[in-house]
Amino acid sequence: MIRCPNCGAYLDIQKPTLTWRQQQIRRQVRDLVRDTGQPARTVEIADMVGVSKRTVQYELALLESIHEIHRPNGAKSGWAIEETPVITLARELVS
């Protein structure tokens, strides 16, 4: 059970488990956005994680498919952290 931070409801939702590399990439996206105020670019993430740009592109696509990250405002080259599925679901339930 997860408690929604917005409405306080308890929801029985399982969040997908991320691999170590996905966690590392997600953390880099979060840190880059926090430090620069701009969406994190694939090349920057690859440099910081120490893997190829193609590997990062693959992992970013997986993270996007499970709503962990998104392209802010339709950006073509940047990534940001997605709201958690619980928050998204809670907003849908309230509205």
CATH number, domain of 34, equals 1.10.10.10
Q: What is the pLDDT along the chain (95 residues), one digit of tens a residue?
A: 566 667 777 766 666 788 999 999 999 999 998 898 889 999 999 999 999 999 999 999 999 888 888 888 767 778 888 655 555 565 566 55
- d(Cα 47, Cα 95) in Å, to the nearest integer? 41
The number of domains in the chain is 1
Give 9's contacts (C-beta < 8 A, 6+ positions apart).
3, 90, 93
Q: What is the DSSP-derived secondary structure letter of residue 40?
A: B
- Residue-level pLDDT at 45: 95
- Residue-level pLDDT at 11: 64
- Residue-level pLDDT at 17: 83
Give the domain extent around 13: 2-94
